[in-house]
Homo-oligomer: A and B are copies of this chain.
Amino acid sequence: VILAGGSGTRFWPASRRALPKQLLPIAPPTGDPFDELGANDSLLARTVRRIGPFCPPERILVATGKDLLDQTRRALPSLPASSFLAEPFPRNTAACIAWATAVIARATPQALVMALPSDHHLVDVRLFHSTLERALESAEGGLITTAGIPPTRPETGYGYIELGGEIEPGLHRVARFVEKPSLPVAEQYVSGGNHVWNSGMFFFRADVLLGAVARHMPDLARGLARIDQAAAVGPEREEAETTRVFEALEAVSIDYGLMEKLTELNVVTASFGWTDLGSWASVWELAQKDELGNSAPADVLLMEAEGNLVRDLGGKPRVTALVGVRDLCVIQTDDALLIMPRERSQDVRLVVDELRRRGKDDYL
Chain A positions within 8 Å of B, measured between CB atoms, are: 13, 301, 303, 316-325, 328, 330, 332, 334-341, 344, 347-348, 350-351, 354-355, 360, 363
A332 to chain B: closest residue by CB? B337
A333 to chain B: closest residue by CB? B318
Q: Are A316 and B335 in contact (CB under 8 A)?
A: yes
Min CB distance A15 to B, Å, is 14
Apart from A303-B354, A320-B338, A337-B337, list 12 A-B contacts with CB within 8 A.
A301-B355, A303-B347, A303-B351, A319-B360, A320-B337, A321-B339, A322-B340, A324-B340, A324-B341, A325-B340, A325-B341, A330-B337
Copies of this chain, whole number: 2
Kindly list chain B residues whose C-beta atoms are within 8 Å of the C-beta of A318: 334-337
Q: Are B340 and A323 in contact (CB under 8 A)?
A: yes
Q: Are B341 and A317 in contact (CB under 8 A)?
A: no
Q: Are A319 and B355 in contact (CB under 8 A)?
A: yes
Q: Are B336 and A319 in contact (CB under 8 A)?
A: yes
Kindly list chain B residues whose C-beta atoms are within 8 Å of the C-beta of A328: 325, 339
Min CB distance A26 to B, Å, is 18
Q: Are A323 and B344 in contact (CB under 8 A)?
A: yes
Please pick, from B319, B336, B360, the residue contacting A363 in the complex, using a CB distance under 8 A: B319
Min CB distance A320 to B, Å, is 5
A320–B355 alpha-carbon span in the complex (Å): 11
Q: Which of A335, A339, A350, A354 has the most CB of B within 10 A?
A: A339
Kindly list chain B residues whose C-beta atoms are within 8 Å of the C-beta of A348: 323
A317–B335 alpha-carbon span in the complex (Å): 7
A325–B341 alpha-carbon span in the complex (Å): 7
14 CB contacts below 8 A, A to B, read A303-B347, A303-B351, A317-B335, A318-B335, A318-B337, A319-B336, A320-B338, A323-B338, A323-B340, A323-B348, A324-B344, A325-B340, A325-B341, A337-B337
